[in-house]
Structure 1
Amino acid sequence: MGLASACKTVHVGRHQKHLKWSKDEPPVLTISSGDTVTFDTIDGSNGQIMEDSDISVIDSFDLELADPVFGPVFIRDAEPGDALKIEILDLQIANWGWTAIMPGFGLLAEEFPDAHLKIWKLDRESGFAQFNDKIRIPLRPFLGTMGLAAAVKGEFSTIPPTDVGGNMDCRELTAGTTLYLPVQTPGALFSCGDGHAAQGHGEVCGTAIETPMRATLRFTVCKDCSWVTSPHFQTAPRTTETLSLADKGRYSVMGIDADLLEATKKAVQNTIKWLVATKGLTRAEAYMLASVAGDLQIAEAVDLNNAITMSLPLNIFDSEANDVCPP
């Protein structure tokens, strides 16, 4: 029997979750290199926010319960110095999701002290989430969290990312992408969660379109890859067939400051101003839209002041008028 025919597909269920990274977390599954695993995950709220929730749920939200991960999976023959190759084969989202502004959380937390919650209907057939009657967001599912156990002993929050992955919230980790993570402990101990239906680069308000997800991943141990000391990934080529909307270009807003974080905040603040002035949104709506559809990028970081851009694709808007100062 050849290696390919010996590989199998197995499953991790919603009940097989944990809230801390630890190399002492007992694995729920043991697999071999080349095997495929399906993961049924609930959303990043850990079920605290539901399809019928209203704004009152934010008042009782327990951050200690947020960002559950599902696993861990022990991969035979994975040893420190190796890399774990994770092929993202398929990502299936629920028919609903949520985005929230939570007091004290997000890039502009000091400017948005009040709670806001948006429950989305996700039209998986058409491939869109409707923001309002003039703005729709293409669905681009990905797992916000994929990671391994670190070598250090102890229990660690699932919220911050680390060199072995975790809550990276990288929108490029969608179906067709291959992720490589450095193995620091025997068996690697892989877990994942935090399904997103769509997100901009930056997730600036602190949440994307959060949703339950079924993920299908294939694992391969790459021996002696000591140069992989942080998450690496390779995306698949995008073709016009994969684009759900015709490209209409992007509108970008820049933030300038000697401090990189302050320049980033300015880029987002200026984007919010543009959206409020030209798209008829409230500041809270503009902040959430920037989080699920706006992309942050460093334009330059060498000329004393940093230049950060935030851009939005113009094809999400029904209107053809996208000037900063419309007549």
Structure 2
Amino acid sequence: MAHSFHVKSSQLHLKWSKALTPVLTVPSGAELSFDLRDGGNNQIRPDNAATALADFDFALTDPAMGPVFVEDAAPGDVLKVEFLELTPSDYGWTAIFPGFGLLADEFPEPQLKVWDLTDAGLTPSSSPGGMRRAVFRPGIEVPVEPFLGVVGVAPATDEELPTIPPYAASGGNMDCRYLSRVGSTLYLPVNVAGALFSCGDGHAAQGDGEVCGTAIETPMLARLRLTVEKKAVRDAKGWALNCPHYVTPPLTREQLEAKLAPADKGEYAALGIHEDIREASRMALRGLLDWLVAEKDLSRPEAYMLASVSSSLKMAEVVDMPNYAIACSIPLNVFTE
């Protein structure tokens, strides 16, 4: 069943609340398009790059477009969200904000990188079906893999909740590059009548961890399908959904070949080991930054931003207490020279 509904970029909210008035009411199974602002609420653009960080208002960040009331959705049900199409804008940005990010105490100065995401600015894939690449600087290119950072439903609480953190019971600003890319399916617990679904925060690329606090942030045109799965179906199987779950699509043969030989050159990683998982992550990230500065001739802020859009934090070992082992890795195929 296909329907035609559209949510405008002006139809946004900055708090999650079950008291919000829906901007649309749609039947289960509806396809919707969303004109999405980026995670900075479109405050940073190529035309104002020189002054954008100085004028930036954090109170306006992580806007969610919506909410959408889905008919027949009731508390205890599940909202199935299918990501059908994601189209980034012709520009993106990555920034270091003072006081924000995994190494905030080590990067007190603001820094901004504006990316060219036009057809002319992107490097074509070297193989059929492969991903185009955004140029960080000559010799360093990052694959463009669009996804949405903010995807969620209204919470059950009477309180208004900020949109910056994610929530187990309702999703939100999860910044997980797998759950909302094209072909993925996300399952969210329904907490209130109609679910009150919203989304936003387009990303052209991001590493696992988004370590400097930003990805390649970009406005996005998104097409999604929303379907209600009734509580009785899961009750019959003997389990309930208490947090977001997702399924990713299989890679096509062309995508698999592009990720493997000859493009894949392996990865470089630093391993942080500490009894505090956050400190282990910080240690691993510092190690990777040290290598990028020494071996790839990057400034430390450049290395931090490149890590945020292309490196990945991984829980390598979490059972041999008291210490955790966290890897921070970067794929070597981002280096084309």
Q: Same fold (TM over 0.5)?
A: yes
Q: CA offset at residue 52 of structure 1?
A: 2.2
State which drifts further: 115-124 or 276-285.
115-124
Partner of 2:240: 227
CA deviations 1:62-87 (Å, max 9, x no partner) are: 11011111000000010111110000
Matches within 5 A, 1:296-311: 296-304=313-321, 305-311=323-329
Alignment of 1:314-325 (within 5 A): 314-319=332-337
Distance 1:240 1:279, change over 3 A: farther
CA contact (8 A) 1:207 1:291 kept: yes
Q: Please give the secondary structure, in 1, of the residue aligned with 2:316.
A: strand
* 2:178 equivalent to 1:169: no
Match of 1:323 in 2: none
**How much has 1:234 moved relative to structure 2?**
0.2
Instruction: Name the CA distance, whole Å, in 2 between partners of 1:180 and 1:9.
Output: 22
For 1:254, the equivalent position in structure 2 comes to 271
Distance 1:266 1:189 in 2: 40
Amino acid aligned to 1:177: S
- Deviation sequence 1:249-301 (CA, Å, 0-9, x none): 11121101011110001111101001001100000000001000001110011
Q: Which residue of 1 aligns with 2:129?
A: none
Per-residue deviation, 1:55 = 4.4
Match of 1:140 in 2: 145
Contact persistence 2:12–2:66 (CA under 8 A): yes
Q: Describe the SS at the equivalent of 2:112.
A: strand
Q: CA deviation at 1:240?
A: 4.0
**CA–CA distance in structure 2, aligned partners of residues 240 and 295 of structure 1:** 24
How far 1:35 sits from its partner (Å)? 0.6
Task: Please state if 1:289 is matched with 2:306.
Answer: yes
CA RMSD of aligned residues (A): 1.3
Separation of aligned partners in 2, 1:174 and 1:266: 30
**Equivalent position amino acid for 1:318 in 2:** T
Sequence identity (%): 54
| C-alpha separation in 2, matches of 1:52 and 1:242 | 35
CA distance in 2, matches of 1:260, 1:307: 8
Matches within 5 A, 1:274-285: 274-285=291-302
Q: Distance in 1 between matches of 2:288 and 2:320?
A: 23
Structure 1: gaps of 5 or more residues: 320-327
Query: What is the identity, as a one-letter code, of the residue corresponding to 1:202?
Result: G
User: Aligned runs of 1:94-243 on 2, under 5 Å?
Assistant: 94-124=89-119, 126=124, 127-163=132-168, 164-172=170-178, 173-224=180-231, 225=234, 227-242=240-255
TM-score when normalising by structure 1:
0.93
CA–CA distance in structure 1, aligned partners of residues 244 and 193 of structure 2 = 18
